Amino acid sequence: MITYDSRTGQFRGSDGRFVKRGVILQRLNEIQNNTQTQIEKISKQLVNRQISLSIWQERMIGIIKEGNIQTIAFGAGGRRKLTKAHYGKMGANLKSEWSRINNFVDEIKKGNLTPEQIINRAKLYSQSVATQFYGGEMLTKGLDGFKYAKRWLDSGARHCSQCPSYSTNGLWRPLSEVILPGHRCDCRGRCRCGISYKK
């Protein structure tokens, strides 16, 4: 079992030791992959005419909402750490996702997309899950007294055109000045940039 330590801003395992960041990100990937798998399943049911478009849309909304709740709570340090600010951030993100899904549904109705395009495009919605994790994490860090963050590039990743400009180049910056991984970039949920915090 992993629990969040508000004093240090880190997660601890059942043995009381700090959990490595890589383990936390692996758990995040598991949630995101599970969300994508569920989306792919219902999208295949849609293109195979096993479910209607309205049922598909309803299920898409449910899957994305649950994935967002799981990751923002994980980033926040657990559901007990969620505040009105966390729910407000998640709500704003979901509102944007619902708008995009409505546009997606309109294109499907018009017959503008092939079955393969529908499935591949639908799977992209799982990327919002990862961005919620980083948003929840920063909100909690701020509430716990962390004032600074630094962001860096993963040396082994292929970056989009925006990410290099978001690196703080090893310098600590006020939280409000740091762009979170997956935000305002083409990588979205695939972003491999790193971020750390200090008080």
Q: Considering the chain, what percentage of its residues have pLDDT values greater than 70? A: 100
- 142 secondary structure, DSSP code: H
For residues 152 and 132, state if they share a domain. no
Number of domains in the chain: 2
Q: Which of 126, 145, 164 is the last residue of a domain?
A: 145
pLDDT at 47: 97
Residue 153 contacts residue 164 (beta carbons within 8 Å): yes
Dist. CA 48–CA 124, nearest whole Å = 20
Residues 120, 168 share a domain: no
Q: How far is CA 185 from CA 3, 107, 163, in A?
A: 30, 25, 7
Same domain for 85 and 11: yes
Q: Are residues 129 and 152 in the same domain?
A: no
The parent domain of residue 125 ranges over 3-145
Rounded Cα distance, 163 and 150, in Å: 13
- pLDDT, averaged per 10 consecutive residues of the chain (199 residues), comes to 90 93 92 96 98 97 95 93 94 92 96 96 90 93 96 88 94 96 86 93
Burial 80-102 (b: 16+ CB within 10 A, else e): ebbeeebeebbeebbeebeeebe
- Please tell me whether residues 54 and 108 are part of one structural domain: yes
Distance CA 74, CA 3 (A): 10
If asked whether residues 112 and 159 sit together in one domain, one would say no
Looking at residue 65, what is its pLDDT? Answer: 95
101 plus 174 within the same structural domain: no
